[in-house]
């Protein structure tokens, strides 16, 4: 056993004395020792109940003959960190989480790991760590939040973020907004729509690193506790059979993940996290190939914010196994891909599609192509990402004058002061991995556009990124970013920008001679000066098209 390195033999007498201080018996030390990584905290609604999930996981480990040892991981609540300095730290926290799990599991050589995340960067950070360590590992997330009800209708976090723009423009009263405050997020869990947290929790299941139901079983259901117990038992099988993360997350798993991503219309953040996960697994990931997948995979499931359904509806419709069953029937996935409990073929055989209004067939798909697209052009030669499944039909092709802002705060101020008018293309730059630094989510501007009723006439282009809550013609991850000398830095107010989402194109309509004059006139410098962790992050982080991973050269 790997844990023998810290507990067996005469040279480990002092080590065993320290284990005795923890109250561990000789019998417990003779068993495989399983690290249980819990991201429980009291600041993220999706994490406030993870102590109960961890207790259930540990019960499962003990039932199957192992000894669980719990340790923590940090987490940032993107919703609470939004539109202030806290958001600079959200994406960088992914690398910190991966590093901290690596540190703990190497300093204390566990035989296996159960990882318990739920929100945003915690999920991919733990996936990156699991693949980097490559010891038997499995995931059990905390589960999605239920939707709320306010002002006589179903609501979710999307409604809360769009409320400020609606109130400012007189489309909503203060009383209606307060009803949303009180009921949009009714309890524990990752926010109810297909935002980043739920996109990545679904991805752990689709990549094979979690048991069926991990991505969709609501946080408040007893089935989530049962799943946690079964996860605790399953890690013991993985340890016994020496099944490791890189045995599961292979090229075919990544391809399946991309196909499911397109069918589900996941958050654009998956286009940051999947390349980073593939990098840790030693698997090449070419952003150029994403459109080829999107072009052949129909958009079958449309969840909030793009649609009316939430994660609980997908769970009741048969969950991700049912989605994969549909994709398999269309020949769009490889069912031989391995999972923690067998293969996808075995899961698909047991799956049932209970609600075809939630999991549609190809004939009734929302579109015959996938929910995400990569755009290329002189403004984004290395690519930009759009959640096209959440774009209104009239904004799929749009040309308009640029309205440029050098930060999220400047943009929000410009929006609320009337500087943006119908037809504009809002440009927010110096918010990329280096420029931010940390590639903040531009949810406040996109929500303001939607709340003000401008999402049907205005596009937004940024080298930053978006929350999964964002909707509309929101084009992010523009690479190279402004701070790295990308063309974004040289756009001026009034320049025409042409966007063609079906054609995968984004172009700045300024002649090359004028662009050359602008580049000669000045060099772009990120306006924000930083110290500490962010300074180190800025120095090491790569471009968004590479997953914003930290360079080690």
Cα separations (Å) of 90 from 78, 202, 294, 458, 504? 7, 20, 28, 27, 29
pLDDT of residue 88: 95
The reply to whether omega before 437 is within 30° of 0 (cis) is: yes
pLDDT of residue 529: 85
pLDDT at residue 22 tops 90: yes
Q: How far apart are CA 105 and CA 109, in angstroms?
A: 5
Sequence-ordered list of residues with C-beta below 8 angstroms from that of 435, at least 6 positions apart, any chain = 429, 463, 481, 482, 483, 484, 526, 528
Q: Please choose, from the candidates 451, 395, 385, 447, the residue with its C-alpha nearest in 3D space to the C-alpha of residue 425.
A: 395
The predicted model gives 206-216 an average pLDDT of 98
Longest dimension (CA), the chain: 76
Angle between helices 157-168 and 443-451 (to 10 degrees): 60
Assign 229 a pLDDT band (cuts: 50, 70, 90).
Answer: very high
Please classify residue 237 by burial: count the beta carbons closer than 10 Å to its beta carbon, then call 0-12 exposed, 13-18 middle and 19+ buried.
Answer: middle
Residue spans of alpha helices (H) in 265-343: 270-281, 290-296, 311-316, 319-329
Q: How far apart are CA 289 and CA 34, in angstroms?
A: 38
Q: Please choose, from the candidates 214, 181, 186, 212, the residue with its C-alpha nearest in 3D space to the C-alpha of residue 200.
A: 214
pLDDT at residue 444 tops 90: no
Residue 20 sits at the vertex; the CA angle it makes with 14 and 22, to the nearest 5 degrees, is 115
* Contact predicate 385/439, CB 8 Å: no
pLDDT at residue 469 tops 80: no
pLDDT at residue 83 tops 90: no
* Contact predicate 79/441, CB 8 Å: no
Scan for tokens 């293969």, then name that residue.
343
The predicted model gives 190-199 an average pLDDT of 95
pLDDT of residue 478: 98
| Secondary structure (H, E, C), 356-424 | CCCCCCCCCCCECCCCCEEEEECCEEEEEEECHHHCCHHHCEEEEEEEEECCHHHHHHHHHCCCCCCCC
Assign 45 a pLDDT band (cuts: 50, 70, 90).
Answer: very high
The predicted model gives 291-311 an average pLDDT of 95
* Strand ranges of the sheet holding 137-139, from the earlier edge strand across to the other edge: 67-72, 33-38, 112-116, 137-139
List, for residues 125-179, the tens digit of each pLDDT value. Answer: 999 999 999 999 999 999 999 999 999 999 999 999 889 988 988 999 999 999 9
Q: How far apart are CA 245 and CA 204, in angstroms?
A: 11
3-state SS class at 428: strand
Assign 87 a pLDDT band (cuts: 50, 70, 90).
Answer: very high
Going by their DSSP bridges, the two strands 397-405 and 425-428 should be labelled as: parallel
List, for residues 240-277, the tens digit of each pLDDT value. Answer: 999 999 999 999 999 999 999 999 999 999 999 999 99
Phi, psi of 243 (to 5 degrees): -90, 120
H or E element in which residue 71 lies: strand 67-72
pLDDT at residue 471 tops 90: no
pLDDT at residue 522 tops 90: no
3-state SS class at 53: helix
Scan for tokens 């099944």, then name that residue.
243
DSSP state of 299: B
Sequence-ordered list of residues with C-beta below 8 angstroms from that of 477, at least 6 positions apart, any chain = 268, 271, 272, 383, 384, 385, 463, 465, 544, 545
Q: How far apart are CA 407 and CA 425, in angstroms?
A: 15
H or E element in which residue 101 lies: helix 90-107
Catalytic residues: 467
List, for residues 308-352, the tens digit of each pLDDT value. Answer: 999 999 999 999 999 999 999 999 999 999 999 999 999 999 999
pLDDT of residue 408: 92
Q: How many residues in the chain?
A: 553
* Contact predicate 36/69, CB 8 Å: yes
3-state SS class at 183: helix
Please classify residue 552 by burial: count the beta carbons closer than 10 Å to its beta carbon, then call 0-12 exposed, 13-18 middle and 19+ buried.
Answer: exposed
Q: How far apart are CA 322 and CA 315, in angstroms?
A: 9
* Average pLDDT across the chain, whole number: 95
List, for residues 356-411, the tens digit of each pLDDT value. Answer: 999 999 999 999 999 999 999 999 999 999 999 889 999 999 999 999 999 999 99
pTM score: 0.95
H or E element in which residue 61 lies: helix 50-63
pLDDT of residue 545: 95
Distance of alpha carbon 259 from the chain centroid: 16
Q: How far apart are CA 28 and CA 26, in angstroms?
A: 5
Q: Which of 198-212, 230-244, 326-340, 450-464 has the lowest mean pLDDT?
A: 450-464
pLDDT of residue 145: 98
The predicted model gives 523-549 an average pLDDT of 91
The predicted model gives 46-57 an average pLDDT of 98
Within 10 A of 336 (CB to CB), how many other CB atoms are there?
9
Q: What percent of the chain has pLDDT over 70?
A: 100
Structure tokens at 452: 């003000």
pLDDT of residue 61: 98
Residue 347 sits at the vertex; the CA angle it makes with 341 and 353, to the nearest 5 degrees, is 150
Q: Please choose, from the candidates 494, 486, 493, 492, the residue with its C-alpha nearest in 3D space to the C-alpha of residue 524.
A: 486
Sequence-ordered list of residues with C-beta below 8 angstroms from that of 354, at least 6 positions apart, any chain = 316, 317, 318, 322
């Amino acid at each position: 056993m790997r844990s023998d390195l810290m507990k067996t033999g005469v040279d480990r007498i002092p080590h065993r004395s320290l284990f005795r201080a923890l109250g561990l018996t000789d019998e417990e030390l003779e068993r495989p020792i399983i690290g249980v990584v819990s991201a429980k905290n009291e600041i993220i609604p999706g994490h406030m109940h993870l102590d109960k999930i961890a207790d259930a996981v540990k019960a499962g480990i003990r039932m199957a003959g192992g000894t669980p040892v719990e340790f923590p991981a940090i987490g940032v609540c993107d919703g609470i960190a939004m539109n202030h300095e806290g958001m600079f730290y959200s994406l960088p926290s992914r690398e910190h989480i991966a590093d901290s799990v690596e540190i703990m599991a190497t300093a204390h050589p566990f035989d296996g790991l159960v990882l318990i995340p739920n929100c945003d960067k915690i999920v991919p950070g733990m996936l990156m760590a699991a693949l980097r360590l490559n010891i038997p590992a499995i995931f059990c997330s905390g589960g999605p939040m239920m939707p709320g009800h306010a002002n006589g209708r179903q609501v979710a976090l999307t409604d809360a973020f769009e409320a400020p723009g609606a109130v400012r423009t007189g489309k909503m009263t203060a009383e209606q907004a307060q009803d949303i405050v009180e009921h949009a997020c009714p309890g524990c869990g990752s926010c109810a729509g297909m935002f980043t947290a739920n996109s990545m929790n679904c991805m752990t299941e689709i990549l094979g690193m979690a048991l069926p139901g991990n991505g969709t079983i609501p946080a408040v259901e007893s089935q989530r506790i049962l799943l946690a117990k079964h996860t605790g038992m399953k890690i013991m099988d993985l340890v016994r059979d020496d099944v490791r993360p890189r045995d599961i997350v292979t090229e075919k798993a990544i391809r399946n993940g991309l196909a499911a991503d397109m069918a589900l219309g996941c958050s654009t953040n998956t286009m940051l996290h999947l390349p980073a996960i593939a990098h840790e697994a030693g698997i090449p990931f070419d952003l150029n190939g994403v459109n080829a997948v999107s072009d052949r995979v129909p958009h079958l499931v449309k969840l909030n914010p793009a649609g009316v359904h939430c994660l609980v509806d997908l769970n009741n419709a048969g969950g991700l196994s049912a989605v994969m069953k549909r994709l398999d029937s269309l020949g769009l996935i490889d069912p031989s891909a391995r999972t923690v409990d067998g293969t996808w073929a075995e899961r698909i055989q047991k799956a049932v599609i209970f609600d075809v209004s939630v999991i549609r067939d190809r004939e009734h798909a929302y579109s015959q192509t996938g929910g995400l697209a990569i755009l290329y052009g002189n403004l984004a030669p290395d690519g930009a990402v759009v959640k096209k499944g959440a774009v209104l039909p009239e904004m799929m092709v749009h040309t308009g004058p640029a309205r440029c802002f050098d930060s999220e705060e400047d943009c929000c101020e410009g929006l609320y002061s009337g500087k943006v008018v119908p037809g504009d293309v809002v440009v927010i730059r110096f918010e990329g991995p280096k420029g931010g630094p940390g590639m903040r989510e531009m949810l406040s501007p996109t929500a303001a556009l939607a709340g003000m009723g401008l999402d049907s006439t205005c596009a937004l282009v940024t080298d930053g990124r978006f929350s999964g809550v964002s909707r509309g013609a929101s084009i992010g991850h523009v690479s190279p970013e402004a701070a790295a000398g990308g063309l974004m830095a040289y756009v001026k107010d009034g320049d025409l920008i042409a966007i063609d989402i079906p054609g995968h194109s984004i172009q700045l309509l300024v002649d090359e001679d004028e662009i050359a004059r602008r580049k000669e006139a000045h060099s772009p410098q990120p306006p924000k000066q930083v110290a500490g962790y962010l300074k180190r992050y800025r120095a090491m982080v790569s471009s968004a098209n590479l997953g914003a991973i930290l360079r080690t050269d």
